[in-house]
């Protein structure tokens, strides 16, 4: 299976979604990249459109900036995921979310605990 992913410098979801729809290629939506290289569409809207490019459970990416969004290089990945960076519109959706964080499984476990706390 081939996929396309929006990146943090050149290709936005707006650039890729028409090609994905035309060629039948799923879009791996990366919310961090979208925040770094915005195209005017909100995360909610891109999530809806990207989900439609998949004929199975979508794969999306999440990460947080190493030095925060106001830092000198917001595209660099932090060790963990800041709970505020996990899109609210993703909660409750059937998604596979790939965590891009330096602390790997520790970051996944911490994010899972944080998401469970916010549900309770």
Is 18 within 8 Å of 4 (Cβ atoms)?
no
What's the confidence (pLDDT) of residue 78?
Answer: 97
Residue 26 gets the label, from left (phi > 0), alpha (psi -120 to 50) or beta, of: beta
Residue 119 has pLDDT above 90, yes or no: no
In eight-state DSSP terms, residue 78 is P
Rg of the chain's alpha carbons, rounded to an integer? Answer: 14
Look at the pTM and tell me if it is higher than 0.85. yes
pLDDT in tens, 48-58: 999 999 999 99
Residue 76 has pLDDT above 80, yes or no: yes
Residue 118 has pLDDT above 90, yes or no: no
pLDDT in tens, 28-46: 999 999 999 999 999 999 9
Domains of the chain: 4-119 (3.20.20.150)
pLDDT in tens, 87-113: 999 999 999 999 999 999 999 999 999
What's the confidence (pLDDT) of residue 1?
Answer: 82
């Amino acid at each position: 299976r081939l996929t396309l992913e929006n990146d943090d410098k050149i290709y936005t979801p707006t650039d890729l979604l028409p090609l994905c729809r035309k060629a039948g290629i799923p879009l791996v939506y990366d919310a961090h990249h979208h925040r770094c290289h915005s195209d005017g569409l909100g995360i909610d809207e891109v999530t809806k459109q990207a989900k439609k490019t998949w004929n199975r459970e979508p794969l999306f990416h999440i990460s947080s900036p190493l030095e925060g969004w106001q830092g000198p290089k917001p595209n660099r990945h932090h060790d963990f995921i800041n709970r505020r960076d996990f899109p609210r519109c993703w909660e409750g959706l059937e998604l596979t979310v790939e965590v891009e964080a330096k602390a790997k499984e520790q970051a996944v476990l911490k994010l899972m605990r944080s998401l469970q706390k916010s549900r309770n």
